Amino acid sequence: MCAERIAGGVRLAILAKAPVPGSVKTRLIPGCGAEEAARVHADLLRHTLAVACMALPTKQIALWTALEHEHPLFRELATQYGIARHAQTEGDLGERMRFALTPGPAMVIGSDCPVLTPELLNTCAEALNHHDAVCLPAEDGGYALLGLNETHSSLFTGIDWGSERVMAQTRQRLDALDWRLACPATVWDVDRPEDLRRWRHASRSHSSKGRMG
């Protein structure tokens, strides 16, 4: 799908915390330390922005920030890519997502899914032409992307955020609404030490193939 077609419809909201040591990627800290975990978080955010801006017109992309709205990395990325920057609203993850997704059609992602590609984001945007919702389920039971033509409170309240039940609960809510759901792919996030090793291994493999080519 061409970027111009997407420009007329689907927005993309990227939810991201500032890379503050000790406050991000806390499950990585026992293995690599708070400073390195924050650097990993920053690298993932840079990767996410690069992928998003290859997929969609920058005017359709917004960075929704938390912890430190004026963090230098946020200012750097917003300037580099020419995207809007907003502070996340108060409330739990569900409320912050709902706010960023309104009005629709819109998609929301985090900053810790290294296997997102421009093609996959385009596929998700295209799916909203024929479905009420689109998700990228994650291997851990959550999801890495949620897209909606319109929001409904039931999708954001009473969900066990951060658990392996998030995607299953979301499916149940969508079924209750009789909304059509598209799930173009299953993906994985960098949350645990084994995820970081997986990402680094995949990055090394990709770099090696590029050099051989």
pLDDT recorded at residue 209: 55
The encoded tokens of residue 15 equal 């939810």
The one-letter amino acid code at 27 reads R
**The pairing of beta strand 143-148 with beta strand 133-137:** antiparallel
pLDDT in tens, 114-170: 999 999 999 999 999 999 999 999 999 999 999 999 999 999 999 999 999 999 999
Assess contact for 40 and 27: CB atoms under 8 A. no
pLDDT recorded at residue 4: 37
pLDDT recorded at residue 204: 77
pLDDT recorded at residue 206: 63
CB atoms within 10 A of CB 207: 10
Q: Report d(CA 144, CA 111) in Å as an integer.
A: 9
pLDDT recorded at residue 213: 53
The encoded tokens of residue 137 equal 């389920």
* Residue ranges of the chain whose pLDDT lies below 70: 1-8, 205-213
CATH code for position 147: 3.90.550.10
Which residue range is the domain that position 14 belongs to? 3-212
Q: Report d(CA 142, CA 175) in Å as an integer.
A: 17
How many domains in the chain? 1
Number of alpha helices (DSSP H) and beta strands (DSSP E) in the chain: 8, 7
